[in-house]
């Protein structure tokens, strides 16, 4: 199993993280701590993807460093407008990044 960090907890990131979590260790990062807490409590992203139950194996994080801790691959699932800010948070990161914007 590969450890992945999906960066962005909108509909796209949540859907990808839910699918990937069936075969990999996945952390879904939300930049808004309140959103991360709500997703973790409900085990669904009520705001963007309410009809999809999230697997128990999916870790929900608002702490970027915690989400990246064991990641072997980063998956950026942010809007293009948020990509610059996300990349600015990753200086010196040596983990491969897959950009899905």
Taking the C-alpha atoms of residue 59 and residue 53, their distance in angstroms, rounded to an integer, is 13
- Measure the CA–CA gap between 42 and 49, rounded to whole angstroms: 12
How many Å apart are CA 91 and CA 74, to the nearest integer? 13
pLDDT computed for residue 87 by the predictor: 93
Per-residue pLDDT, 92? 87
- The domain of 63 spans 3-99
Helix (H) or strand (E) holding 18: helix 11-20
Rg for the chain (alpha carbons), in Å?
Answer: 12
| Ordered per-residue pLDDT tens for the chain, 101 residues | 899 999 999 999 999 999 999 999 999 999 999 999 999 999 999 999 999 999 999 999 999 999 999 999 999 999 999 999 999 999 888 999 999 97
What pLDDT, on a 0 to 100 scale, did the predictor assign at position 38?
A: 98
How many structural domains are present in the chain? 1
Predicted local distance difference test score (pLDDT) of residue 42 = 98
Report the CATH number at residue 67: 3.40.50.720
């Amino acid at each position: 199993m590969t450890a992945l960090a999906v960066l962005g907890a909108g509909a796209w990131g949540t859907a990808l993280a839910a699918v990937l979590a069936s075969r990999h260790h996945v952390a879904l990062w939300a930049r808004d701590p309140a959103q991360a807490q709500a997703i973790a409590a409900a085990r669904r992203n009520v705001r963007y993807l309410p009809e999809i139950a999230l697997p128990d194996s999916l870790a929900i994080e608002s702490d970027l460093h915690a989400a990246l801790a064991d990641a072997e691959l980063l998956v950026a699932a942010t809007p293009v407008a948020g990509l610059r800010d996300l990349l600015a948070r990753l200086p010196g990161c040596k983990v491969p990044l897959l950009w899905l914007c």
